Structure 1
């Protein structure tokens, strides 16, 4: 029996052709193709092309695009504006199916302009809503919200209740993504009221689920459960397995947060059963991860490892990178708790690899290649070492044989000369044997130490290559901070300092991080910090530096399992900025590390409605210091939320963030520290230089100051001129 949609399509074609053709399923497409062959180049052909493209949309999107491009071109040549608009509207949908969201937006924009010329307000509202949906998928939430609001305005004027409800639900979703739960709830409630009036069960269930998400985010589990349960009941009545499974998972998440792990597990297993039934492997991966984390909370660490490895196996089979990354993230914590540190380290490295794969596929390949090279080098060394040991054993046997012969001759000589030299020879022989044994032992110990050193250096060198790979490429820095420099001078082969950059929604986030210690311990902490920053921004969607540091602190404490009474104060100091070059707005937050802003005189700096006095100044420039919170990232008593500072920068302002390695460097004639005041004075004296020349001057100055003294700490400075 034909579905309503197919019947509608067929009836439309019948009306166009004044003929009757009985078709269903695949025959519908065949009939359209036959009609197309006989269609003249007129409006009829435009409509048939659009209908054919629609029939092929989900199974053959490339063919659909081809037919729609022909349709739009023909409609334009015929002056058939409405047909051209319909073609572009459907073309936007086809590009969406292909995942080409930017092309989809451009097609919808063309449709919108044509509908504007035709004064088709209903279609304009629909098109604006589609544009918003594509922008949301691209991550351009600001443009998505603007499009949804424009669509809502039109639909309200037309009193289109169903359309108004759809727009309000979409707007609520944007506010939810921005963590504005108050606004999100407001729009979802309005959408629910309207969608109930038109009795649309799918829309009602969708909005109820979204309200559950709002209360879930507001940590109001009972309210979240109320809405999720109502949504689930409707989905079950409709028989929509996909949304049933999704809502079951949401309910499981609420019980997990309530620490009712038994009930949470029941809902996860119900959701898992549906995902297995419909063959949703991606969904199964996510559920196995949820179950693994649940077991971790219960202290069932081995069970947690088992469930997470199930997820990892499935994720690798379908190359689900996000899932693989999340599995390694969970496994790294589990292995630390189980004191399986080698596996924890490997999992952390793999987490870093697959996380960066989501951002840059080339980085992932480089990591994997480095590991393969390292393992190959290690195997070759082991083979060479085994061969050397075998040769040494053979030489030892030969030497022992020779010594036996020599000893025999010595015995004969002793018998002949026993009366004269027996006592003296025995004493000398004992001394020689003891000395020889000591020499052999020293040589063996030397070989062992040299081999150990070689192994350690190989591991450290490999760690250096990994650390270099996770630093932002120079090209990325130049593209997003055009007039800037980075001065990075590790004390050892690997560094406890690192710098980080991410670009989200036209905001450039950049930071300098100083981890506990330097060398290998500092490098390990740098991986923890790097992963935490990426997780805070890319997974939790945070863009405000203060909020990012609060989340980073939570992630670091979770990773290191530190508490207030911990004797080991592993952690990090950090200065983090978010810069918008479009309006020169800068947000900053810091853990112990301040921000310096150098401004040309006459310089006035107002922050939080207070005039800030310069920290140092000369005839032409003034340097203003924005102090950080006096607390690190990591274990700390009496912690407070990190402050977020917002500034309007002026043209030619220069911004600096840095670790303490530069001012703490010993040198000069008295072997004292460089210190912060001379560092500030140096910065204002180099303002006439280009940023690359500033970097060179800073490096030359600290090298001259250090002289023959050892570098005491890692050095990292980022400078940015507006």
Structure 2
């Protein structure tokens, strides 16, 4: 009864907090969807919606993540605060507000540093470097990338070390620091060779060639382009090979087009030579001036030179006389030229008349040719259209065949998934009051339930994997396999231990790192111990409803889901225990039913309305509860499209 009072109180606090903080920052439609939810549920919903909008509408994602961050700060949820800080940083950069994203990322880095979270720091510094790069702060970007590189060195993650060094090399090359770019890409080649990754080696050699080409050392550039080309050809990397060939072609064109210009490399190589030539020239001028002074002194002392000067004056007079005669001849020539010009004008007029007539003739011929070309063009269009229609029909048939093959594969996946999900009749042999309602959104479901009975201990689990359709189906297969290993093979029956081991296995299996992609699941695990007549429950991202004597008791799970956006190893989960009592009803469910939109209201059903529905159904015969749930869902949707997989399962003692 205590929990019944606490939960509405927490929801009320979350609602008042949300209303006061964000009354002017988000649309009314979103406020209505968040109304009645706790702060934790609001954060989860806003983060999920922001992630979906990151690529298609980054500005919207940024607004949503900021709203989520404010709720996390106000509610004191540090884990959620860290998640939303990282989301704010990334969405700000993608929406063109990288400078704002830098503040969020620095706060996240401070929290990750306090937690000594090396993996998170590596990825966060990389995102910070990208943000600085967007704002043009190259030195800060390089510093952030270097910090990311150091953390990946600590993690011994050479693949991501290579990625970070690439970011640094691109900045050096773009900012004209070619020698540093060459040093960086040389280290990248060494990293790729240590990984023995042929594609990365070829890519790094190609980038090193680009750096040498930018620097102007064409000889070294060709050496590295040819090394990259040799590897790409051997490995059949067609796309990379095309890029390398294009770089070689551009380099050769630049060499041909800049024969008389100097590159950065050539300028630096000839700088000392120019200084040497300049010093020689200064020395020569100094010697020349000394020689001139010696000649002047000799002229002042020489009598013969004075006689020569008088002779020059006589020659000058004869020269001026000759100039006058030449001027008279030039005037006569100008008169003759004027007469010739008049004749030329008349000739030009006649020629222009002939040119005009010729132009008219050419215009008529061109018009006729254009008409002929137009007719040919229209005919060719007609032929091409017929061919295109034929190709389209063939492609349509091919696409239909491929769709049929894909549909057959999906149907086969559905049969496999149905085969691993236990039949209700099998579970009812151990728990007569067991019931389940599973309605996938697509052919294959990300929601499923799991069952095992051994030594008077019966385990039932409700699992909601990330995504739906094929992606959700793949995650459900992984979850089913790991539960079989943990419980059936390793004999772990305590629900909280099952969740702890499952989380570690999911993190290791999916090798999650760096990008914080939300791959995981929400899960409820219930163990009925007939030896002690106790029911033990552990929850991750789920809620569980228990009804006995017409009183509701709610159990909230840990905010840390299995796997998730920032995977963590060695998490612990709480166990809830209640005694087995006759008439007790227990309900486990995914978020699909409460999150379903209704046609009449356009809003989600919501947790409150769903809980009231469950309370009403708790007194019904367990065998008809699935039918009642189906009916209630159909009436609520009223033709609205199903938005997620739906699972409701449980039992009555």
TM-score by length of 2: 0.42
Structure having greater relative contact order (Cα 8 Å, sep ≥ 6): 2
TM-score by length of 1: 0.38
Larger-Rg structure: 2
